[in-house]
Amino acid sequence: MQSKGHLLMFATKKDIPCAILGLITMVIASVGSPIQTQIYGEAFEKLSKYVSGEYRSIGAFVSDIRLLCGLIMVVGVVRMVFTWVSIHVWLIVGERQQKRARKLLLTGLMRQNLEWYDSKENLMGTLAQVNRCIEEIRVATSENVALLVQGTSAIIFLLISAMISSWSLTLVIMASAPLMALLSVVFGKLTLRFASKENSSSAEASKVLDWCFVSGNLVRLLNGKYEDLVSFNRIVDSSAKAFTKMTLAICSSQLVLRTLSFLIFVQGFWFGSFMVLTGRLSIGQVFTAFSSCLLLGTHITTVASVLALLNKGQAAAATIALFMKKDDYFTLGDPDSAEKCFDPIVTGRRIRFDCVSFTHKNSEKQSLHDLSFELRNDNINFIIGPSGCGKSTLVSLLMKFYSPNCGAIVV
């Protein structure tokens, strides 16, 4: 079951000005698409007038076309500037989220005691996967959000432009739009599902790999290299299958949407020529609606691709949320509280163990049982005993790495 997590889980109020600026600039840049289609329609309208002999001289026709070409260049330059500003701002938002996520992860690790680390069976593999997921969130919340805003706003503006030019031609061309939306949702869910499975498998593979690197001598001593190799290959194969399925879902979504977008050519050309031959529409109106719908289909394909990457980022956010929720990263106390209440031992103090018992979480056997004794700091004290008698546990309790299950340590 996926833990609740969202792409902006590390965003704060300080990101609102940047998000608003990125949103406004990208919407302004998206307005250029319908403006360009209107200019294209006007250019073809003048071209049809020139062919039909309505221009008295070729100079007047060239002058009008030169003005329209200049307007296309101006619109392109303005779009480029606003798009650059918007993507730059969204990249700042993504970098801020990444910085906060890594800082929160490091702070949470530094706050944990040794008992927490001892209870983790796949800590290194999980941390490697969480760091990878943080990078995926950064990618998803930066340029991909900008492209999503651009594509969505451009679709709305182009649809309005096409409907104004010819609502009937627009409806015929966009007859496949509901099917495109449905397929985007289906392939998006498949992408999220396989991305989550690939994340979990990669974490398990990282655990096995880290164990072989850190404890290589022990692996060889126990003759466990073949067992670890088989386990690693099995997990990697599972991760590769999940990644392949995720890639197939993304590519299938793009393939189907591109195919449906190309069908716009056939639908628009057939019905548009019919409307021009019957005199219901002019060439300029047909080309404006046709080019608007054509660009609209291109933006729909782009949005579908971006949504697939956002679903991948959503799966990464769910992985991070599951890790941090399970380990109470957001409910930890002040990391400096232990230092604030620390009372150094001065000459004349004693440390007394009163009926102290302790058991490790992963062990059923007690390390210390009803232990009582006293230490003076003006003497040299030795702790002597066989292996496994609890000497290291005793020192860990003295340093407050662990807390006793019962009893008390009094200074």
Across the chain, mean pLDDT equals: 79
Torsions phi, psi for 184 (to 5 deg): -65, -40
More confident residue, 378 or 91: 91
Instruction: For 41-97, write each residue's pLDDT tens digit.
Output: 888 888 888 877 777 778 888 888 888 888 989 998 999 999 999 989 999 988 888
Q: What gap in Å lies between CA 121 and CA 125, rounded to an integer?
A: 9
Share of the chain above pLDDT 90, in %: 3
Alpha carbons 234 and 134: distance in angstroms, whole number? 26
pLDDT on residue 332: 42
Per-residue pLDDT, 320: 82
- Cα(first)–Cα(last) distance of the chain, in Å? 47
Smallest CA-to-CA distance from 405 within 356, 335, 361 is with 356
pLDDT, tens digit, for every residue of 306-319?
A: 887 787 788 888 88
Nearest CA to 225 out of 243, 212, 238 is that of 212
Asked if 303 and 176 touch (Cβ cutoff 8 Å), the reply is no
In this prediction, residue 25 has a pLDDT band, given cuts at 50, 70 and 90, of: very high
Q: Residue 270: count other Cβ atoms within 10 Å of its Cβ.
A: 10
Is the pTM for the entire model greater than 0.75? no
Q: How far is CA 61 from CA 41, 95, 163, 273, 286, in A?
A: 15, 51, 28, 24, 21
pLDDT at 111 over 50: yes
Amino acid in the structure at residue 100: R
* Degrees to nearest 5, angle at CA 324 with 319 and 327: 125
Indicate the residue type of 56: R
Residue 334: per-residue pLDDT: 46
Q: What pLDDT is attached to residue 344?
A: 52
- Number of Cβ within 10 Å of residue 276's Cβ equals 16
